[in-house]
């Protein structure tokens, strides 16, 4: 990682779990990055990311799905299930970038990408319609299945250059 990435917290699951949360996130960075390595108990799951325990319909996102020969897209507005990244059975990686998370005058945005079954790649761009600084993040998957044992979640803070 570049020297501007500072590890904040890492969680490696010792047993299957439905969600992982990062709490008490300092506002001293410009952006946040979450890297998820592992899998889920079911195939073709998108990660759901929620900020500050907000489970309301305050999120929107657009996703692009491609396999090298075709592509598709979908979007959700006013949803409580904001997708951000993708995991499946086996070992996969998803990366979520959250920009300007500590700013208290703008809505929060994120971009994410991840592996999907059948040799596909998914990319997401999302919006949380709230101006509060993000101080906690919860990650689960949209199918409600557990993350598998030894899945690792790492939160990085991006220092100003």
| Total-model pTM | 0.93
Q: pLDDT tens across 11-49, in order? A: 999 999 999 999 999 999 999 999 999 888 777 678 999
Q: How many percent of the chain have pLDDT more than 70?
A: 95
Between CA 76 and CA 83 the distance in angstroms is 9
């Amino acid at each position: 990682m570049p020297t501007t990435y500072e590890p904040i917290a890492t969680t490696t699951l010792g047993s299957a779990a439905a969600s992982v949360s990062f709490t008490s996130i300092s506002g001293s960075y410009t952006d946040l990055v979450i890297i998820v390595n592992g899998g889920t108990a079911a195939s073709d799951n998108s990660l759901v990311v929620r900020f500050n325990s907000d489970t309301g319909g305050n999120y929107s996102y657009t996703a692009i799905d491609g396999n090298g020969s075709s592509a598709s897209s979908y979007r959700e507005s006013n949803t409580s299930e904001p997708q951000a990244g993708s995991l499946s059975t086996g070992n996969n990686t998803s990366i979520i970038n959250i920009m300007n998370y500590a700013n208290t005058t703008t809505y929060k945005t994120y971009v994410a990408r991840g592996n999907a079954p059948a040799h596909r790649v998914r990319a997401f761009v999302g919006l949380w319609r709230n101006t509060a600084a993000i101080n906690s993040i919860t990650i689960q998957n949209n199918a409600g299945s557990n993350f598998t044992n030894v899945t690792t979640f790492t939160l990085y803070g991006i220092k100003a250059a």
